[in-house]
Structure 1
Amino acid sequence: MTRPLRVLLVDDSLIDRELAETAFELLRSPCTLETVDSGSAALQRLLQPEATMPDVILLDINMPGMTGFEVLSTFKTHPQLSVIPVVMLTTSAQTDDVTRAYTLHASAYLLKSIHFQTFLEQMEKLIEFWMRARLTTWPQMISI
């Protein structure tokens, strides 16, 4: 059997993190969710010597300290982190934000639904996609 998909959510909103945790508990797909409240916390967690790398990172844009764009830029310029797919998970539908995310090499851009059932469906589809898209050799393929 394939191991569960590992997802890291980076979002400063406690409510949004708790919403995601509830949604992931209800998902039928095999996955695990870890959450952190800031870009710096994500970097600290991922750069630990024995860190288990996520298969995909969900990243909010509007955060104090490091914005999601700054975090994404840091991920994509770091040799170990640059290969991790990053999905921007945000409420911003502004064209400039979408363009900037893809310019910084986001793997996808997903608008957070304000309705829980729709958000749950979004997460189910996201997990299904990344279960099929991930590399079977991950994270062993990364040389530190």
Structure 2
Amino acid sequence: MTVPRRFLLIDDNPHDQLLAREAFAELCPDCHLTSASDGPQALEILQTTDDLPEVILLDINMPLMNGFEVLQALKTDTRLAPIPVVMMSTSGAPEDVTAAYTLYASSYLVKAQDFPAFVNQIECFLRYWAHCRTIHA
């Protein structure tokens, strides 16, 4: 089975973006990880490319548009709605998890607190998506 190769990370934290880039480089060097620092930037990227990501990783707590607002915008756009969105947040609050799934998130991960655990989390994430089929693959 093949792992999706195109991912979009939407996260305002430069440190989290760096950790994700390092984890992806270590675990899936053939993967292409694009980063956006906020919702409007992510939507601009998505609306101006023909090479859509196969999976989106989306933080909740961001300025300008929070993750729920971004998720809602993604799911109301017929071109973007089929892309699986994995919420990846420091919040494990039940109301956040419920809100994410109510807005049709594909999955919800609570970010690991240290780099080795985060790498393990990304490894599990990639292994999972290797067994899934995405519409843009």
Q: TM-score range by the shorter chain?
A: over 0.9
Greater RCO (Cα-Cα under 8 Å, separation 6 or more): 2
- 8 Å Cα contact 1:29/1:124 also seen in 2: no
Alpha-carbon distance between aligned partners in 1 of 2:40 and 2:16, rounded to the nearest angstrom: 18
Which residue identity lines up with residue 5 of structure 2 in the other structure?
L
Q: What's 1:87 paired with?
A: 86
How many residues are aligned here? Answer: 137
- 8 Å Cα contact 1:55/1:84 also seen in 2: yes
| TM alignment of 1:14-53, pairs within 5 A | 14-28=14-28, 30-48=30-48, 50-53=49-52
Residue 21 of structure 1, CA deviation: 0.6
Alpha-carbon distance between aligned partners in 2 of 1:2 and 1:28, rounded to the nearest angstrom: 11
Deviates most, 98-107 or 31-40? 31-40
- 8 Å Cα contact 1:31/1:127 also seen in 2: no
Q: What's 2:136 paired with?
A: 138
- 8 Å Cα contact 1:87/1:106 also seen in 2: yes
| TM alignment of 1:1-144, pairs within 5 A | 2=2, 5-28=5-28, 30-48=30-48, 50-135=49-134, 138=136
Which residue identity lines up with residue 23 of structure 1 in the other structure?
A
Give the percent of matched residue pairs that are identical in Structure 1 and Structure 2.
47
- 8 Å Cα contact 2:83/2:136 also seen in 1: no
Runs of 4+ with deviation above 4 angstroms: 1-4
Relative to structure 1, the CA distance from residue 3 to residue 108 in structure 2 (aligned partners, 3 Å threshold; closer, same or farther) is closer
- 8 Å Cα contact 1:29/1:128 also seen in 2: no
Per-residue displacement from partner, 1:62-105 (whole Å, max 9, x unpaired)? 00110000000000010000000000000001110000000000
Alpha-carbon distance between aligned partners in 1 of 2:131 and 2:53, rounded to the nearest angstrom: 15
- 8 Å Cα contact 1:7/1:56 also seen in 2: yes
- 8 Å Cα contact 1:60/1:89 also seen in 2: yes
Q: 1:133 aligns to what SS in structure 2?
A: coil
